[in-house]
Structure 1
Amino acid sequence: MNYSFKILPNSELESIVPLVFDLNQGKVDKSVLSSRFNEMKNQNYECAVITNNKEIVGVTGLWFCTRHYSGKSVEIDHVYIKPDHRNKGLGKQFMTWIHTYCKKKGFESIELNTYVQNHPSHKFYYNEGFKILGYHFLKRI
């Protein structure tokens, strides 16, 4: 396998919609995802991808901001690796690449949310040095 990591240009965000659709198990329509990613282009958002011979096989969003409790912070979002590419150490390599990339940009911390029932991700993030700070709540308006 010939894996590489890079920041996807905003003009190519449409190419990650199928992966994020799979991540959400089809709960968010592809047209809605396309529309939202089009808006996200202008909201301190970057998209990091894993490619294998030019095919995108993994993705995560990077939200950049400054928080009162953690300083210059990056929130990783919608982390997904296609099933055929899992359990090969790729997630660990991706997190190392993201850490290095964000540190070079001058950021001080990385944050994330993970679904309560996603126990394998909890173990993975613990092993990557993440600590649980609290709960994430959502209210639709």
Structure 2
Amino acid sequence: MSYQFKIIPNTDLDVVIPLVYELNEGKISRSVLELRFNEMSRQNYECAVILDDEDVVGVSGLWFCTRHYIGKSVELDHVYIKPAYRKKGLGKQFMHWINNYAKEKGYQSMELNTYVQNYPSHKFYYNEGYEILGYHFLKRL
């Protein structure tokens, strides 16, 4: 099976909302996701997708910035592949494609957060060469 990896225009971000909704197990409403993605579209954000024909089966947000400790960095956000497409090497291919995309844009590092209880993702990212740098803290205002 042949998949396509690409960056979608920020005007088309609505196509990834169903996947991000699944990722968050419905804890964030679709209407809130729509509002947030609309706002994200005007920031240093891009969205990479995996297409199976015309169907979006995977997604990763990309936040671009410069950080004092690592230089030009892209932070992966809401990485998700539909369950039926997992364990087939697709995630590895997607990460490789994103890595090359970031390098071509002149970025020097990639970062991400993963939920503490998501053990399969920890193993996957270790195998992709990621290291744990610290803890991510959150305070709601």
TM range (shorter): over 0.9
Q: Which residue of 2 aligns with 1:44?
A: 44
5+ residue gaps, structure 1, are none
Q: Distance in 2 between matches of 1:94 and 1:62?
A: 13
Q: Distance in 2 between matches of 1:86 and 1:114?
A: 17
Shift of 1:54: 1.1
Matched residues in 2 for 1:89 and 1:48: separation? 17
Q: C-alpha root-mean-square deviation of aligned residues, in Å?
A: 0.5
Shift of 1:45: 0.1
Q: Which runs of 5+ in 2 are unaligned?
A: none
Amino acid at match of 2:69: Y
Give the Cα–Cα distance (whole angstroms) in 2 for the partners of residues 43 and 71 of structure 1. Answer: 19
Percent identity of equivalent pairs: 70
For the residue of structure 2 that corresponds to 1:2, the secondary structure is coil
Query: TM-score normalized by structure 1?
Result: 0.99
Specify the SS of the correspondent of 1:19.
helix
Matches within 5 A, 1:62-141: 62-141=62-141
Q: How many residues align?
A: 141
TM-score normalised by the chain length of structure 2: 0.99
Q: Which residue of 1 aligns with 2:60?
A: 60
In structure 2, how many angstroms separate the alpha carbons of the residues matched to 1:68 and 1:77?
A: 20
Q: What SS does structure 2 have at the residue aligned with 1:129?
A: coil
Displacement over 3 Å in runs of 4+: none
